[in-house]
Every structure is written in C-alpha cells, then in structure tokens.
Amino acid sequence: MSKLVLIRHGQSEWNLSNQFTGWVDVNLSDKGVEEAKKAGRLIKEHGLKFDQAYTSVLKRAIKTLHFALEESDQLWIPETKTWRLNERHYGALQGLNKKATAEKYGDEQVHIWRRSYDVLPPAIDDNNEYSQAHDRRYSNLDPNIVPKAENLHVCLDRVMPFWEDHIAPDLLAGKNVIIAAHGNSLRALTKYIERISDEDIMDVEMKTGEPVVYTFDDKLNVTDKVKLDD
C-alpha cells in the first residue's frame, strides 16, 4: 500500500490579483506561504512520511513543496522538478485579469476557456511579454513541444508520460509520494486517477494548499481518498 499526496500551491500573487497565470512564474502571496506551512503541519499531524517529491519548474509550486516539507521535517527527501507538472498553459490569456476578460468576452466564454476539457484558449505570440518562448528553463525542449496554449486534455497528455515513467513506478514499488503542483495539472492527474469523465471534470476544483491523500493497492487501484483540513 502506497500513498500519494497532491497539493495545489498556496495562493499566488496572481491568484490574489485575479490574473490568468499558466506558465508565468509568479510568487506565493503571504497568505499562500501560510497555506503551504499549514499543509505541512497537517501532513505532520497525520504522520505522513514520503520517499519522493515531485514538483513543477514554477516557484509557487516549488516553494509550497519546500514549506510543506520543512514543516513536516522532511526537507531532505529526494525531489524532482519537471515542466510536465507545470500549470496548464493559458496561452494569450496569461497576464490578463479574469474579471475584465469576462466583461469583454462574456462569463460563458471565460468559463469555457477555464473549465472545458477540449476548448483551447487563444495561442500566445512569442513576442508577448508573458510568453515562455525565450525562457532558458525550456531551452532543452523541442520547441514544438513548448505549448503556446493548452486545454485540460493537452495538459493531461503531457502530464501522463511523467506519471507513467516516474510516479506510477514509485507507487508500485511501495513508495509514498508527494506532488506539489497546480490547479489544472492536478485536475488532470485527478481525472486519470479517479477515472472522471470529460464532462464531470469541469466541476472538479482544487483548493490552494489543501493536501489530498490517496491510498493505492498494489495494482494501483485507489482504496482511500482523504482531504486534510482542520
């Protein structure tokens, strides 16, 4: 029996200012730091011990992982950062205010961009100040792989190779794993783990800083799911 803990990063500065974020590397807000520390305290209280940590290459997730591990005295465990756990790329919406965008394009269109499984947001131009086309951290990737916009389906498709190559083998080997990532990369993993339909995933939300604990049997079936809260 192995355990997998998923944590969405604590509140970010752009969660606070209500801006589409995606792959833009914004920091945690003060509240986000507190949420991450609280997640670590809950992990400690529940006696959860990890063998391996995974996170994205974005600081809001990396810092959340570190605060949570520090609070639970497990900052020493092996950790791997991968772009495959990044937030879903929000395309040309990155940097825009969500409320102002809804006023311009309508609530329904913005809801579709945010939660539909298959509709892509508009692609980002390489010259956009919030593009990752020239970001050094992605320079070792085939440029055709670096997205210019993603929906949840595309996001799931790029998370899955990492699940198959790293996370699933760890769990099958009986390791306990913690993943600190993002609302939509974690919704994608949740969809796969819980076999949620394309329609029903639209209603699944991840709270910032709330650890979700799965227990798996030796065939990787979920035998238990608990959300840690006070």
> Which residue numbers belong to the known binding site for substrate?
8-15, 21-22, 60, 87-90, 98, 114-115, 183-184
Stretch that binds ligand 3PG, among 28-36, 100-108, 155-163, 178-186 (CB under 6 A): 178-186
Q: Of residues 37, 38, 84, 114, which one binds ligand 3PG by CB under 6 A? A: 114
What part of residues 192-211 is at the interface with ligand 3PG (CB under 6 A)? Answer: none
Using CB under 6 A as the binding rule, whether residue 101 contacts ligand 3PG is answered as no
Structure tokens at 138: 């992605």
Q: Of residues 21, 29, 101, 176, which one binds ligand 3PG by CB under 6 A? A: 21
Structure tokens at 193: 């783990």
Which residues in the chain belong to E strands, given as ranges?
A: 2-8, 52-55, 79-81, 177-181, 212-216, 222-227
Helix (H, G, I), strand (E, B) or coil at 33: helix
Length of the chain: 230
Instruction: Name the residue with the smallest CB distance to ligand 3PG.
Output: 21
* DSSP code string of 59-104: HHHHHHHHHHHHHTT-TTS-EEE-GGGSPPP-GGGTTSBHHHHHHH
Q: Of residues 90, 130, 214, 216, which one binds ligand 3PG by CB under 6 A? A: 90
Closest CA to 182 of 40, 22, 42: 22
Catalytic residue among 66, 87, 150, 182, which?
Answer: 87
Using CB under 6 A as the binding rule, whether residue 35 contacts ligand 3PG is answered as no
Please report, as ranges, the residues that interact with ligand 3PG according to CB under 6 A.
20-22, 87, 90, 114, 182-184
